[in-house]
Structure 1
Amino acid sequence: MVPTTRTMIRDLLALHLSQKGMSIHQFSGQSGINSGTLSRILSGQQPIAMNHLERITKAMDLPEDHFYSLYVDECFFFSSPNWRRLRPFLVRSAELGRLDCVEQVVQNLLENLVYAPMLFEVAEGLFREGLWQAAELLYKNVSVSEKYQNSERLAICQYRLFRIAIGDDQARNLHAAHLFECYLDRLDEADQLDGLKHLAHVYVSLNKWHKVDELAKQMQQLATLRYNLQWQSNRRMSNERNPEKPLYFYILYAQLIRSNVSEQMGDYPSALDWVSLYMDGSWIQEDNEEVKRTMAQFQEWGNANRLLYRVMAGQYEALSEYVEYISHRPDEIFTALYNIILSANRYYWNVDYILKRFASYIPYRTNLAEYGILHNKQVIANQYSRFLSELATYYLQDNRKEGIRFILQSLESSARINNKSNVIKCVDLFGQHRNQADEEENEQYKVQIGAYL
């Protein structure tokens, strides 16, 4: 039985016509809806289509989503669910930020699991359009409906939810990574490559280098296998799903990551061996402009890293050459300063002249590169927090008071991304040098620690 207490859009339309003294024919001219269609809508003989709803709302001079909550009732309580009406309504609700309507439609539809594949396709479209909040609602509900199925669709939902979940909070990022890893091997191999890349980014930002190396190794093996099969086959499989980048990119990128891992482990000879590998693209079968652009980027990273690894190994004579190299590459300067200050603290170098020269890059302000492990958003956020604490250490080694200021800045930045290890480092640093802090700085420290705890 139809609930009699629910307000219907057609009743409000009839009331509007009565109050304005308008005929159906007059409203037809104003809305652009055929008068016969309007008559059938008002008499309840025809449901309201999405384009009719938009025209009615506009003609009544109301906000576009004014009737959206009532439209959910129209679609489920006063008529049978109709995908041709519901799909455009879902998409437009997402575009207007009406997540309440998205949630109501999804909950009602998934009483019948036949709608799960259709909702998944809508979620994919919303994800591509950047409407991630609405997509997240759909992916979560589709996942629940398929939780007992060992399906690729369930794995893709979990992959998308992982991508959506990644943000500034390192603890939440780690939790999201752990949840997604259980589904990684259920994905198509193309999606696995991108999943490995995004997982590696998370673990880089968390400084979990053994895990990063494990993921990079998997990426390198999978990409190499697919690449060799692609070129050994007598025919190309045009229906195969492709990853975000060409296959050769993932091989080079995995080598770049493994180079960075070796550097972090202090194994500079191995790091340089990996550099030689990712700078050599002679094995790439393709010959086009994209290959040339990709190789130019990797060779640029390789040239910079060869200098960097000499600096990180304590070769002071390489420092000036490295500084000159990065001075012509603004997008690389912050990362270079971070590595320079690490080396300065390790080898007790004076790099005041470098900090002064690039003072405008502290704090870090630049656009992220198109791709690259050193330019991932989470990696940069983590580097910035650590950079500030290393900068504090650098100044406090000479008992320079500005070190206190950088401790407080690092503490604030670390708390924002929930970087617990760096928060602890800041607490230790402040405790060791508290005597250099004035009353205002001591108070600021107490407030920041209190807020974090």
Structure 2
Amino acid sequence: MVPTTTTIRDELAMYLSQKGMSINQFSGQSGINSGTLSRILNDQQPIAMDHLVRITKAMELPEDHFYSLYVEECFYHSSPTWRRLRPFLVHSAALGRLDCVEQVVQNLLENLIYAPMLFEVAEGLFQEGLWEAAELLYKNVSVSEKYQNSERLAICQFRLFRIALGDDQTKNLQAALLFECYLDRLDEADQLDGLNHLINVYYSLHKWKKVDDLAQELFQLASLRYDLHHNSKRTQNSPKNPEKPLYRYILYSHLMRASVYEEQKDYKTAQKFVSLYMDSSWIREDDENAKRTVAQYQEWGNANTILYRLMLGQHEALLEYVELISLQNDEIFVALFNIVIAANLFNWNIDHILERFAAYLPYRTNLDEFGEYHQQIIADQYARFLSELAAYYLHNKRREGIIFVLQSLALSARINNETNIFKCVDLFEQHRHLTDEEEKEQYKLLIREVQDSHDKKIHQASSFL
């Protein structure tokens, strides 16, 4: 980075000259002591972050107007000090000036003593939701510590894993694979959260063996910590607490293991794990949060017990299931998904149910409202739900199924769900005779998008390897 010839001092001096203002007058306008201003203008005092904010505001300029010049101010026109650079990093992140964040980080990491300080800022930005800036810091700190077997490096990788997760299942898999080798280096509290997020990713990817293995690991670690917390008189080594109460990780491990066996159509084993997460007799906490959690798992257990009967073809369970879930608005989508699957399996007519819950077709609930359900799992289930719904309508020779095929194909392409893409293509081609020209054109565009995504995926995979 080569410094420019113009400085913030030059800009300020030019402003005072153009406005015909004295230092005393600008002091009153900016709230900066006149002596301090004089020393700044005469290059006898560095410009603090607070001074920069006041100068910029007094000159009626955008807040980040001098940010690029301030990087130079900190590294070329004065000695870099953390007291100035830390608030500048935070302000730059808040205003989306990632270019300034990058420049500061690159300059600072020439001296590895700054790595722990940058990590601390990254953690603050992560908690504030400023993930793009935090990602920059975590990546750079990781590079500086790549030869260290440190917990800080592992936390950086954990945060980068969290930040990388999105709709694209291929990218999610890559992020999970990169993070997994750092899992054991984390503090046990972070391990619990890491396992929780990995389970959700692999569940959305339908990697059931992996989900089952990770759920068992989650159960063992959470149970151990829970017993130590309640039975040990010794102070625990870890000062950290996981994101959720320990009992929730134990319950969630049972829930996910039940879900794995449900997906594999082993309903007898699934029911065994339903019984485990419905049993709250061992939970010692008695606060409102614990009571809500226990009630939630009881609801899921009751619903899933009926669901397994449904999936075994017991038609009499359908009415029970519908009436139960009708009282739980945030569960209706998942229940409808299961009902449509059962209808397609056993050739049931569920028109009356779809009409009753028409408000959920198309599904319009915010994905963030699903509590324990992870957004990636819901996005995956929604894509599959649309294809199952399409199959139901098309089996009954109703052309509105084509609309759901196209919706499912569009979402499946966006999240890279190849299995569902193939299903949608098969459904469309089987029922092409029901489509109009506009739908055929939309289908053609979606197939082109799928092909482009596939080519990109191959390129990403080769780069990853």
With normalisation by structure 2, the TM-score equals: 0.94
Q: After superposition, where does 1:131-210 map in structure 2 within 5 Å?
A: 131-210=130-209
Change (3 A) 1:369 1:323: farther
Change (3 A) 1:238 1:156: closer
| 1:417 aligned to which of 415, 424, 435 | 415
Secondary structure at the aligned position of 2:431 is classed as helix
Change (3 A) 1:236 1:300: farther
Equivalent residues of 1:57, 1:66 under 8 A apart: yes
The equivalent residue for 1:217 is 216
The equivalent residue for 2:289 is 290
The equivalent residue for 1:70 is 69
Change (3 A) 1:239 1:414: closer
Q: After superposition, where does 1:35-114 map in structure 2 within 5 Å?
A: 35-114=34-113
Aligned-residue CA RMSD (Å)? 1.5
The Cα of 1:236 is off from its aligned counterpart by 4.0
1-side partners of 2:369 and 2:275: how far apart? Answer: 22
1-side partners of 2:383 and 2:13: how far apart? Answer: 61
1-side partners of 2:382 and 2:216: how far apart? Answer: 27
The equivalent residue for 2:375 is 377
CA offsets, 1:335-393, max 9 Å, x none? Answer: 111011111111111111111111110111224466644x3111111111111111111
Equivalent residues of 2:187, 2:238 under 8 A apart: no
Q: Which deviates more, 98-107 or 237-246?
A: 237-246
The Cα of 1:449 is off from its aligned counterpart by 0.7
CA offsets, 1:165-189, max 9 Å, x none? Answer: 0011111111111111111111111
The equivalent residue for 1:394 is 392
CA offsets, 1:104-155, max 9 Å, x none? Answer: 0000000000000000000000000000000000000000001111111010
Secondary structure at the aligned position of 2:364 is classed as coil
Q: Which deviates more, 363-372 or 123-132?
A: 363-372
Q: In structure 1, what residue type is equivalent to 2:436?
A: D
Q: In structure 1, what residue type is equivalent to 2:301?
A: G
The equivalent residue for 1:18 is 17
Q: After superposition, where does 1:247-396 map in structure 2 within 5 Å?
A: 247-368=246-367, 372-373=371-372, 375-396=373-394
1-side partners of 2:264 and 2:88: how far apart? Answer: 53
Secondary structure at the aligned position of 2:121 is classed as helix
The equivalent residue for 1:29 is 28
Change (3 A) 1:254 1:371: farther
| 1:427 aligned to which of 425, 428, 444 | 425
Q: Which deviates more, 306-315 or 133-142?
A: 306-315
Change (3 A) 1:443 1:3: closer
Equivalent residues of 2:192, 2:242 under 8 A apart: yes
Q: In structure 2, what residue type is equivalent to 1:244?
A: E
The equivalent residue for 1:404 is 402
Q: In structure 1, what residue type is equivalent to 2:163?
A: I
2-side partners of 1:98 and 1:369: how far apart? Answer: 28
Q: In structure 2, what residue type is equivalent to 1:117?
A: P
Q: In structure 2, what residue type is equivalent to 1:228?
A: D
CA offsets, 1:14-64, max 9 Å, x none? Answer: 111111111101100110000000000000000000000000000001010
The equivalent residue for 1:245 is 244
Equivalent residues of 1:410, 1:426 under 8 A apart: yes
Q: Which deviates more, 62-71 or 327-336?
A: 327-336
Equivalent residues of 2:3, 2:72 under 8 A apart: no
The Cα of 1:273 is off from its aligned counterpart by 1.3
The Cα of 1:285 is off from its aligned counterpart by 2.4
CA offsets, 1:295-353, max 9 Å, x none? Answer: 11111111121121211221110100110111111111111110111111111111111
Change (3 A) 1:368 1:432: closer
The equivalent residue for 1:9 is 8
Aligned residues: 451
Equivalent residues of 1:3, 1:77 under 8 A apart: no
Q: Which deviates more, 203-212 or 43-52?
A: 203-212
Q: In structure 1, what residue type is equivalent to 2:62?
A: P
The Cα of 1:89 is off from its aligned counterpart by 0.2
The equivalent residue for 2:448 is 450
Identity of aligned residues (%): 71
Change (3 A) 1:409 1:3: closer
The Cα of 1:3 is off from its aligned counterpart by 7.4
The Cα of 1:287 is off from its aligned counterpart by 2.8
Q: In structure 2, what residue type is equivalent to 1:326?
A: I
Unpaired runs of 5+ in structure 2?
Answer: 452-465
Q: Which deviates more, 267-276 or 90-99?
A: 267-276
Unpaired runs of 5+ in structure 1?
Answer: none
